Amino acid sequence: MKLKLHVWRQNGPNDKGRLETFDAPDVSPDQSFLEMLDDINLVLAKAGKDVIAFDHDCREGICGMCSQVINGVPHGGQERTTVCQLHMRQFKDGDEVFIEPWKARAFPVIKDLVVDRGGLEKIMQAGGYTSCHTGGVADGNALPIGNPVAEYSMDAAECIGCGACVASCPNSSAMLFTGAKVAQLAVLPQGKVEAHTRVMAMTEAATEHGFGNCTNHYECQASCPKGLDVKFIGKLNREFMKALCK
Ligand code: SF4
Ligand code: FES
């Protein structure tokens, strides 16, 4: 099928940026979105032109690197689907497709579709861990954890840190991301020890690195490729209040 692509081109955080139009004359419905971009880049490279910069790593929906807004929606709007898992069969012959980077104050554009998501790393560095003594592997039965708690923690741990929640939020809030990271540890015995300092440090880091606050738009939940529920924002707020009142 034939598509017309309007791709965001930007030479760095201080460049104004613009949309550039490309024809994609021979797109297979079996290709992934990134494979389709690979083909465009092959043509550009052969012509000695500047290829389109875009982020990717696993191409399996695991790493959270592929960060593109497609037709105005982070990850393209397919439920629980990252850009790398989006297939061209979702498009029709003759479609025009707009491809842009995550747009959020906290994610400056490095080049074209690549943004700096280091702010999410700073939130993790502030408290997204448990401190423990190294040594022999603990006996698996030494610390029993009930199934509902384990399931809740694993649901929160599904977050791949892609940043779509931030890109879709009118406040550029990272509260779904931060809530997931706080929640996955706060319910486990290993994470309870530092629960108060963790939530304070991570929320402070989110503010410091330019992320806003939640005002209940629910766009984060709608765009999350891993189906993270806004209940984790509620958990973040409760953990924050517990830390304040301790
Ligand atoms: S909560 Fe969802 S959208 Fe946000 S970073 Fe995690 S996986 Fe991505
Ligand atoms: S490239 Fe890893 S999730 Fe898309």
DSSP code, position 145: -
pLDDT value, residue 133: 76
- In the predicted model, is pLDDT for residue 208 greater than 80? yes
pLDDT at 136: 85
Ligand 1 pocket: which of 79, 121, 223, 226 to mutate (most atoms within 8 A of CB): 226
Residue type, 109: V
Q: Report in angstroms the alpha-carbon separations of 122 from 67, 105, 115, 130, 208.
A: 18, 15, 15, 16, 9
C-alpha of residue 84 to centroid of ligand 2, in Å: 5
User: What local confidence, expressed as pLDDT, does residue 206 receive?
Assistant: 98
Assign domain 3-111 one CATH number from 3.40.720.10, 3.10.20.740, 3.10.20.30, 1.10.340.30. 3.10.20.30
pLDDT over 80 at 222, yes or no: yes
Which parts of 37-189 are beta strand (E)? Answer: 68-70, 73-74, 96-101, 109-111, 114-115
User: So what's the pLDDT on residue 21?
Assistant: 98
CA 55 / ligand 2 centre spacing (Å): 8
Nearest to 52 by CA among 3, 2, 5: 5
Predicted local distance difference test score (pLDDT) of residue 1: 96
List ligand 2's pocket residues with C-beta within 6 A.
Answer: 56-59, 61-66, 82-84
Nearest-CA residue for ligand 1 atom 1 is 177
Count of positions (residues) in the chain: 246
CA distance 165 to 147: 28
Predicted local distance difference test score (pLDDT) of residue 162:
98
Ligand whose nearest atom lies closest to the CA of 163: 1
How many whole angstroms separate alpha carbon 246 and alpha carbon 232?
21
pLDDT in tens, 106-155: 999 999 999 999 999 999 999 999 987 778 887 878 889 999 999 999 99
Q: Which CATH architecture has domain 117-131+141-244?
A: Orthogonal Bundle (1.10)
Mean of the per-residue pLDDT values of the chain? 96
In whole angstroms, how far apart are CA 14 and each of 27, 99, 150, 195? 33, 20, 45, 39
| Rounded distance between C-alpha atoms, residue 209 and residue 20, angstroms | 30
Closest-CA residue to 239 (of 185, 169, 158): 185
**Mean local confidence (pLDDT), 90-97:** 97
Percent of the chain with pLDDT over 90: 93
Q: How far is the CA of 244 from the centre of ligand 2 (A)?
A: 37
Q: Which residue type, as a one-letter code, is found at position 24?
A: A
Measured distance CA(126)–CA(112) in Å, rounded: 29
pLDDT of amino acid 246 = 82
Spell out the residues 6+ positions from residue 139 whose beta carbon is closer than 8 angstroms to its own: none
**The residue to which tokens 């982070």 are assigned:** 74
Pocket of ligand 1, beta carbon within 6 A:
64, 159-165, 176-177, 180, 224-226, 228
Closest ligand 2 atom, residue 162 Cα = 3
Res. 10 pLDDT band, cuts 50 70 90: very high
The string of pLDDT tens digits covering residues 54-82 is: 999 999 999 999 999 999 999 999 999 99
| Intervals of CATH 1.10.1060.10 along the chain | 117-131+141-244
Terminal CA-CA length for the chain:
61
Residue pLDDT, tens place only, 228-243: 999 999 999 999 999 9
Domain with CATH 3.10.20.30 in the chain: 3-111
Distance 195 CA to ligand 2 centre (A): 30
What pLDDT, on the 0 to 100 scale, is given for residue 142? 84
The stretch 193-212 carries a mean pLDDT of 97
Q: Which of 37, 54, 63 to mutate to test the pocket of ligand 2 (most atoms within 8 A of CB)?
A: 63
Q: Could you tell me the pLDDT band of residue 215, with boundaries at 50, 70 and 90?
A: very high
Find the mean pLDDT for residues 4-11: 98
